Chains A and B, each alone.
Chain A
């Protein structure tokens, strides 16, 4: 077989997560050999086509456009001279002793690579019409919001004349404005759920600003048109989200844009035996963004779909640094992790990381989402439950005035609290034996008089 090239660390994906992870890794040790593999021609990921502003408010305290945000990480990446392999696909991944092996394909042929640690920064993919059960003919004119965004912003092409947008995710809302500015008519934005999926500010500045109709509890039930979309059928839905046929109306349009959710991309993770959380559709990770497979780290939207790129970068900095330390320690006896899982109670959709490695000295940045809109005061409590007994040490508490599922909440578990957990942690602490559990409880204040 061909030559095998070894690296200390390989990052998959040169979007905001991959760039930040690579930059962070070489900050830990300048001599670390790091390679970033990217499918597309240019680094920057989805930010290349996110020409709107609002990025970087948390990380830089500035309002940047997507390309500007990407350029900051890219400038550092280039200054550090980190190696990038663009227009390259990873076609296989596996193990060879302590090494993680990758097979890649690009114009130069097939490449065999090995690394000590791997960072999955593969982002997420859009759900398509087939995944939301719109069946029937497949006329031209049906686009995911991200594809429409790429056509308009990168290629300068309008997808049609009159668009209807299904789904109120942020990209859908942003495309409603973008298409309107570029001269398309937007017939309306329709959402099957009783509340908007995207951020409130995008409802204001992308939809209300341009008097675009926005209707909740409504979905597309049929697409008309043989060669090109001619119309769609809209139906109101009941509380169980089932369409009410008597409410069906036909709306003329030549373009249907779908903004119906994002799913973390983890095909490579699956081939390395990385176990995935059914709630987030991304790998289970500890606070170092270490998956349950040793040496495999993950960050950004591959782990869970973030509302802000700033949090993608934050998790990538953690993953890059931890993967660098892991690679540097290669050869010496690996420290066994002491993983404590979270059990959540109350209206919590999910929490990431799902585990705390009590043997690690690092603080944990936790992100969680509420499972429903909560407009009365709520309190979050993080506790260490020793051997399943309740009422043990309260580690962190935080109050919220309003919680909305589209918005991610961030809580820090200080390093001291992680150390406190260590005393409780059982010896083996393997994920399969959750002897000690961390509880994350969200309690909504009872406002009933």
Chain B
């Protein structure tokens, strides 16, 4: 049985329109302008993966949120579950951009990393 899927590649701003034919478990990608589009198209047809970018709470009144991003893509279907898990997190220590905030989110083997430097004492000196 053959399945036909069409979607926009999200790897770069070019936004190629991909068509993927899935036949007997193999996916054939067309419409892609580069190799990354082929890899993306094949994955997308089987199980869509997305990066997750969000914020977590901090203990600093002046900067109540720290932006974080996933170290790798996770299943699109589990993004809302991941958001719920991150609801519990409060950052109380200073961090550098790129440092791990949450390890092994939902046991998916993906970490959440700080997207910015964070100084937990920010603003306290002047107040």
Of the candidates A63, A65, A156, A200, the one whose C-beta lies within 8 Å of that of B8 is A200
Contact of B64 with A71 in the complex, beta carbons under 8 Å = no
Chain B residues whose C-beta falls within 8 Å of the C-beta of A229 in the assembled complex: none
Q: C-beta contact mask, A28-48 vs B, less than 8 Å → 1, else 0?
A: 000000000000000000001
Which of the segments A50-58, A312-320, A382-390, A412-420 contacts the partner chain? A50-58
Contact of B64 with A68 in the complex, beta carbons under 8 Å = no
Chain B residues whose C-beta falls within 8 Å of the C-beta of A53 in the assembled complex: 51, 53, 69
Contact of B13 with A181 in the complex, beta carbons under 8 Å = no
B92 contacts A by Cβ under 8 Å: no
Contact of B15 with A199 in the complex, beta carbons under 8 Å = yes
Contact of B55 with A51 in the complex, beta carbons under 8 Å = yes
Within 8 A of A (CB), among B32-68: 48, 50-51, 53-55, 57, 63-65, 67
Q: Which residue of A lies closest to B58 (CB)?
A: A156
Q: Which residue of A lies closest to B96 (CB)?
A: A71
Q: Which residue of B lies closest to A69 (CB)?
A: B115
Which of the segments A14-22, A201-209, A250-258, A283-291 contacts the partner chain? A201-209
Chain A residues whose C-beta falls within 8 Å of the C-beta of B11 in the assembled complex: 201
Tell me, in angstroms, the Cα distance from A203 to B10 when the chains sit together: 9
B83 contacts A by Cβ under 8 Å: yes
B22 contacts A by Cβ under 8 Å: no
Contact of B12 with A156 in the complex, beta carbons under 8 Å = no
Chain B residues whose C-beta falls within 8 Å of the C-beta of A183 in the assembled complex: 83
Q: What number of B residues sit within 8 Å (CB to CB) of A?
A: 31
B1 contacts A by Cβ under 8 Å: no
Contact of B64 with A156 in the complex, beta carbons under 8 Å = yes
Tell me, in angstroms, the Cα distance from A153 to B8 when the chains sit together: 27
Q: C-beta contact mask, A360-404 vs B, less than 8 Å → 1, else 0?
A: 000000000000000000000000000000000000000000000
Chain A residues whose C-beta falls within 8 Å of the C-beta of B57 in the assembled complex: 156
Of the candidates B7, B14, B115, the one whose C-beta lies within 8 Å of that of A68 is B115
Q: Which residue of A lies closest to B65 (CB)?
A: A156
Of the candidates A156, A208, A209, A307, the one whose C-beta lies within 8 Å of that of B55 is A156
A249 contacts B by Cβ under 8 Å: no
Within 8 A of A (CB), among B52-103: 53-55, 57, 63-65, 67, 69, 76, 79-80, 83, 97-98
Contact of B67 with A54 in the complex, beta carbons under 8 Å = no
Within 8 A of B (CB), among A127-167: 152-156
Q: What number of A residues sit within 8 Å (CB to CB) of B?
A: 31
Chain B residues whose C-beta falls within 8 Å of the C-beta of A182 in the assembled complex: 54, 83
Tell me, in angstroms, the Cα distance from A181 to B64 when the chains sit together: 18
Q: Which residue of A lies closest to B15 (CB)?
A: A200
A6 contacts B by Cβ under 8 Å: no
Q: C-beta contact mask, A50-80 vs B, less than 8 Å → 1, else 0?
A: 0111100100000101111001000000000
A426 vs chain B, min Cβ distance (A): 40
Given contacts A53-B51, A153-B67, A182-B83, contact A199 B13 (CB under 8 A): yes
Chain B residues whose C-beta falls within 8 Å of the C-beta of A66 in the assembled complex: 67, 115
Chain B residues whose C-beta falls within 8 Å of the C-beta of A348 in the assembled complex: none
B72 vs chain A, min Cβ distance (A): 12
Tell me, in angstroms, the Cα distance from A199 to B15 when the chains sit together: 7
Of the candidates A54, A68, A208, A407, the one whose C-beta lies within 8 Å of that of B116 is A68
Contact of A201 with B10 in the complex, beta carbons under 8 Å = yes
Contact of B67 with A51 in the complex, beta carbons under 8 Å = yes
Given contacts A181-B80, A205-B50, contact A71 B13 (CB under 8 A): no
Q: C-beta contact mask, B95-127 vs A, less than 8 Å → 1, else 0?
A: 001100000000000000001110000000000
Contact of A203 with B69 in the complex, beta carbons under 8 Å = no
A441 contacts B by Cβ under 8 Å: no
Tell me, in angstroms, the Cα distance from A152 to B57 when the chains sit together: 11
Contact of B9 with A67 in the complex, beta carbons under 8 Å = no
Given contacts A53-B69, A153-B65, A181-B80, contact A201 B8 (CB under 8 A): yes
Tell me, in angstroms, the Cα distance from A181 to B7 when the chains sit together: 22
Contact of B67 with A307 in the complex, beta carbons under 8 Å = no
Contact of B115 with A308 in the complex, beta carbons under 8 Å = no
Tell me, in angstroms, the Cα distance from A199 to B17 when the chains sit together: 12
Chain B residues whose C-beta falls within 8 Å of the C-beta of A308 in the assembled complex: 13
Given contacts A57-B13, A199-B13, A200-B15, contact A68 B51 (CB under 8 A): no
Tell me, in angstroms, the Cα distance from A52 to B51 when the chains sit together: 9
Tell me, in angstroms, the Cα distance from A300 to B79 when the chains sit together: 34
Given contacts A65-B115, A67-B115, A201-B8, contact A153 B55 (CB under 8 A): yes
Identify the 7 closest CB pairs spanning chains A and B, nearest first. A200-B15, A67-B116, A51-B67, A201-B10, A204-B8, A65-B115, A156-B65
B residues sitting closer than 8 Å to A (CB atoms) are: 7-15, 17, 48, 50-51, 53-55, 57, 63-65, 67, 69, 76, 79-80, 83, 97-98, 115-117
Known: A53-B51, A181-B80, A407-B15. 6 other contacts (CB 8 A): A51-B67, A67-B97, A67-B116, A201-B8, A201-B13, A204-B8
11 contacts between A and B (CB under 8 A): A51-B67, A53-B69, A57-B12, A65-B115, A66-B67, A68-B69, A71-B116, A153-B65, A156-B65, A200-B8, A200-B15
A residues sitting closer than 8 Å to B (CB atoms) are: 48, 51-54, 57, 63, 65-68, 71, 152-156, 181-183, 199-201, 203-205, 208-209, 307-308, 407
